[in-house]
Amino acid sequence: MQPDERTPLVSLHHRNGKPSSSSSSLSVGNFSPRASSSYSKLFRPIITALALLSILLYTFHSRYPFPIPFLSRQSAYPSLGPSLTLRLYTNNIRFDNFQHPDRHEKPWSKRRVQSINSMEFNTISGHANVICLQEVLSNQLTDIIRGLNEGLGVDGEWHYCGVGRTDGVAQGEFAPVIYKKSDFIVLENATFWLSDTPAVPSKGWDAALERIVTMVTLQSRVNPLIKFNVFNTHYDHRGKVARRKSSQLIVDKMKHYNSYPSFLCGDFNTEPSDEPYRILTEAGFKDGRITIDSKFAYGHESTFTGFDLDKEPDSIIDYIWSPYFTKSAQRSREKEVEEKNQMINYYNLDHHEYYDIVLKSFGILGNFFHGFYFSDHRPVVATYELTRTRLI
Ligand SMILES: *[C@@H]1O[C@H](CO)[C@@H](O)[C@H](O)[C@H]1NC(C)=O
C-alpha cells in the first residue's frame, strides 16, 4: 500500500522532493545497437505478435467490457450517463412547541432562522439535495418551504412530499422529504404508519404516538437512468417493541416497494447498540457514520443535544443509511476487501449489479449558534456519488 492512499491531502512532492527530470540513466545510449541487432531476428516476431494482441484486447475490452482482476479498482462496467452527486441532509427540527417549551428552548420564531439557514447553506448547488426532516408541524413546513424558496412559496424550486401523521393530511407532525424540482422527478410517494395497519393513520404496538415513514422514489434529471428511494422516518420515543417492529417493517418495505436502491434517514430514537439498529444493519443498510473512514468524518460525534448546554447528553440517535453495496470513497485496500466480504445482502437484491454508490463525505453538524440551540438534534449530512453501471 502506498502511504498516500490513506492521507487526505495527496502530497505533491516527487521522489524525496527531487522533481523528476530526464537523467542520464534513462538515456538511450545505454542500449547497444550491436547487441540489439543480433537478437532482433528472434524477438521481432514475438514483439509484433504481442503488440497485435494488446491492440486486439484493448479494442475488444472497450467494446465488450469484462472485469480484469487486480487491474480495475472501479466497477467493471462503464457508467451509463453522468453520475449523480447526492447530498442527504436530515434533522429533527423540534416541533413548534409554544405551549410547554423546555427551560432553555427558544420559540420556533427564533429557532427557525438558523434552522432554515443550515438547510440552505448545506444544500447549496453543485449537487442534488434531499432534505429529510422530522417533527415538522404544518406551519413550520410552510416557513421552511417559503424560506428555502426565498419568498416564492410553493411556486419556487423546492417542493416536498409527506403528510401529517395524525390524520394523513395536515394534522400532526410531518416527516417531509424536500427536494428541488430541477433536480428530481417524483415517481412514487407514499406514507406508511409504523403499525400493524400501515396504510391508515394508526398507533403501533406500544408506541405513545402515531409514527410514520415517508417513502419517495426519485428520478434524477441529470441522468434519468438513476432512480432511488428515500425513506424518512421518526421512531417512537417510548415503545421498545414499536421501535423493533418499525425497523422490521422498513426492511420489508424496502424489499417490496420497488426495484430501486433505498436510502433511509431519520430520528430512530435508537442508539447504535440497540436492537432496532442491529435489524437495519443485518438487513444490509449501511450507517454513514460507520461506513465513512473515521478520519474523514466531519463535526460532532453525537446527534442529540437537548437544549441545556451544561447537560448535553452523549447520544447518537439520528442516522443516514444507504444501500447494502455502498462503498466508502476514501479507503485502503484492506478496507476494500473487508467491504466486499461484509456485503450483507439480506434479501438477495441485485441492485449492486446496476448501480455503484460511493459515500464521499459524512458529518454531524452544529446546532448551537448565537447563544441557543436551533433544535435539540444536530443535522446529519452525507454525500454520495451514484453511478448507473448497467441496464436492466
Ligand atoms: C405524492 O402523492 C400524493 C398522493 O398520492 C399526490 O397527491 C402528490 O401529488 C404526490 N406528490 C408528488 C410530488 O408527486
Higher pLDDT, 1 or 56: 56
Give residue 7's pLDDT.
31
pTM value? 0.80
**Does 220 lie in the same domain as 123?**
yes
pLDDT > 60? residue 279: yes
Q: 156-169 as b/e, with b when 16 or more CB fall inside 10 Å?
A: bebbbbbbbbeebe
Q: How confident is the model at residue 58 (pLDDT cuts 50, 70, 90)?
A: low
Atom of ligand 1 nearest to the CA of 186: 14
Atom of ligand 1 nearest to the CA of 159: 13
Higher pLDDT, 123 or 26: 123
**Does 175 lie in the same domain as 48?**
no
In a domain, 10, yes or no: no
**Does 206 lie in the same domain as 95?**
yes
pLDDT for 64-119, tens place per residue? Answer: 444 444 444 444 556 799 999 999 999 999 999 999 999 999 999 999 999 999 99
Q: How far is the CA of 188 from the centre of ligand 1 (A)?
A: 8
Q: How far is the CA of 170 from the centre of ligand 1 (A)?
A: 14
Q: How far is the CA of 161 from the centre of ligand 1 (A)?
A: 7
Q: How far is the CA of 162 from the centre of ligand 1 (A)?
A: 8
**Does 54 lie in the same domain as 175?**
no
d(CA 65, CA 59): 10
Count structural domains, the chain: 2
C-alpha neighbours within 13 Å on the C-beta side of residue 32? 4
CATH of the domain at 258: 3.60.10.10
Give residue 22's pLDDT.
36
pLDDT for 178-188, tens place per residue? Answer: 999 999 999 99
**Does 94 lie in the same domain as 46?**
no
**Does 353 lie in the same domain as 219?**
yes
Give residue 49's pLDDT.
72
pLDDT > 60? residue 348: yes
CB 189 within 8 A of CB 241: no
In a domain, 342, yes or no: yes
**Does 128 lie in the same domain as 36?**
no
Full residue range of the structural domain in which residue 153 is found = 85-388
**Does 321 lie in the same domain as 371?**
yes
**Does 162 lie in the same domain as 49?**
no
In a domain, 337, yes or no: yes
In a domain, 267, yes or no: yes
pLDDT for 286-330, tens place per residue? Answer: 999 999 988 889 999 999 999 999 999 999 999 999 999 999 987
> How many residues are present in the chain?
392
**Does 92 lie in the same domain as 53?**
no
pLDDT > 70? residue 141: yes
Ligand 1 pocket test, candidate residues 145, 185, 186, 218, most atoms within 8 A of CB: 186
Q: How confident is the model at residue 130 (pLDDT cuts 50, 70, 90)?
A: very high
